[in-house]
């Protein structure tokens, strides 16, 4: 089993370029590039190239985008394609974040196309999914998560899954300060791994990294990362402060 441990910061729509480079400087100063944790900064589009240069040559540091177009190229004003992302030096892209699903009404067809274009352009997609509060209250969380996984990932092969990372982000925990308990996180991550095994076989399931996201912070990261099926975190608010982000990196 060779699962990569990952701590990724999703900055969302925060920071100016100067603030962003200062944050990355602080993180670089206070972490060891040779530890085994893969650290990814999911920055806004305009910072991708600068931050890529800033971390260039640093082992186990990468840059990712928060979205990409489902179109290859052409007359789509304001959109950013996968090939453009790759040309900035970035290596990862978030696909299907709940904020994109909710506010931009992204569909399973769009998400499938985004993942395909990311893979075609040598970008690793981090595919996000998770249930809403009402769905959990109605005990539909496993059903919803299985559906979100199957409706998109069934278009891909076990070989392609080697380059895909999963992120379970229960919507009720995002930006709310309410975190899934370690038991809730483990239970769902295990379920996700079992679903991947069902779709693609045990080897693929054992090797895919599954991140937890949703009010993960310097206080709770350690107990979440101690869960056997939690391979790291996708961090929102707490990734905006170097101190907190570094503490999370050292929470394995
Ligand atoms: P918070 O950590 O702010 O809850 O955000 C989680 C998230 O959406 C990461 O993608």
Q: Note whether 233 and 7 are within 8 A (CB).
A: yes
Q: Name which of 31-45, 69-83, 143-157 the model is least confident about.
A: 31-45
**Residue 59 — left, alpha, or beta (φ > 0 → left; ψ -120 to 50 → alpha)?**
beta
- CA atoms lying within 13 Å on the CB side of residue 16: 2
Query: How many whole angstroms from its chain centre is CA 171?
Result: 14
pTM score = 0.97
pLDDT beyond 80 at 34: no
Residue 84: in which H helix or E strand, if any? helix 82-87
Q: Name which of 103-107, 173-177, 204-208 the model is least confident about.
A: 173-177
Q: How far is the CA of 74 from the centre of ligand 1 (A)?
A: 32
Q: What residue has token string 């070989």? A: 159
Q: Select which of 70, 131, 135, 169 is catalytic.
A: 169
Ligand 1, atom nearest to 94 Cα: 10
Ligand 1, atom nearest to 128 Cα: 10
pLDDT beyond 90 at 178: no
Q: Is the dihedral of CA 163, 63, 239, 2 positive or negative?
A: positive
The residue to mutate among 98, 167, 237, having the most atoms of ligand 1 within 8 angstroms of its beta carbon, is 237
Q: Which letter does DSSP use for residue 74 in this model? A: S
CA distance 92 to 166: 12
- Give percent of the chain with pLDDT exceeding 70: 99
CA distance 106 to 148: 12
Asked if 169 is an active-site residue, the reply is yes
CA distance 70 to 92: 15
Asked if 97 is an active-site residue, the reply is yes
Q: Select which of 70, 97, 106, 141 is catalytic.
A: 97
Please name the residues in contact with 112: beta carbons below 8 A apart, sequence gap of 6 or more.
152, 155
Give pLDDT tens digits for 111-131. 999 999 999 999 999 999 999
Question: Is residue 195 within 6 Å of ligand 1 at its C-beta?
Answer: no
pLDDT beyond 90 at 1: no
Q: What residue has token string 């249930």? A: 131
Give pLDDT tens digits for 184-197. 999 999 999 999 99
Give pLDDT tens digits for 196-216. 999 999 999 999 999 999 999
Which superfamily, per CATH, for 5-249? Aldolase class I (3.20.20.70)
Query: In the chain, how long is the greatest CA-to-CA distance?
Result: 48
């Amino acid at each position: 089993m060779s699962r990569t441990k990952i701590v990724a910061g999703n900055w969302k729509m925060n920071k100016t370029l100067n603030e962003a480079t200062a944050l990355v400087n602080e993180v670089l100063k206070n972490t060891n590039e040779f530890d085994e944790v893969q650290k990814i900064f999911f920055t806004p589009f305009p910072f991708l190239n600068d931050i890529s240069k800033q971390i260039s040559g640093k082992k186990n540091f990468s840059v990712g985008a928060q979205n990409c177009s489902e179109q290859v190229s052409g007359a789509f004003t304001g959109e950013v394609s996968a090939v453009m992302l790759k040309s900035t030096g970035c290596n990862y892209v978030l696909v299907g974040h709940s904020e994109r699903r909710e506010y931009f009404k992204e569909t399973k067809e769009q998400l499938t196309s985004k993942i395909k274009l990311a893979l075609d352009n040598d970008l690793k997609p981090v595919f996000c999914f998770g249930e809403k509060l009402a769905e959990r209250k109605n005990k539909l969380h496993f059903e919803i998560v299985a559906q979100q996984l199957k409706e998109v990932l069934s278009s891909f092969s076990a070989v392609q899954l080697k380059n895909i990372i999963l992120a379970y982000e229960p919507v009720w925990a995002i930006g709310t300060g309410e975190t899934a308990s370690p038991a809730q996180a483990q239970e769902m991550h295990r379920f996700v791994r079992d679903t991947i095994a069902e779709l693609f076989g045990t080897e693929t399931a054992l090797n895919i990294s599954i991140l937890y996201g949703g009010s993960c912070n310097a206080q709770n990261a350690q107990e979440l990362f101690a869960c056997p099926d939690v391979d790291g975190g996708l961090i929102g608010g707490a990734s905006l402060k170097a101190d907190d982000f570094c503490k999370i990196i050292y929470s394995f």
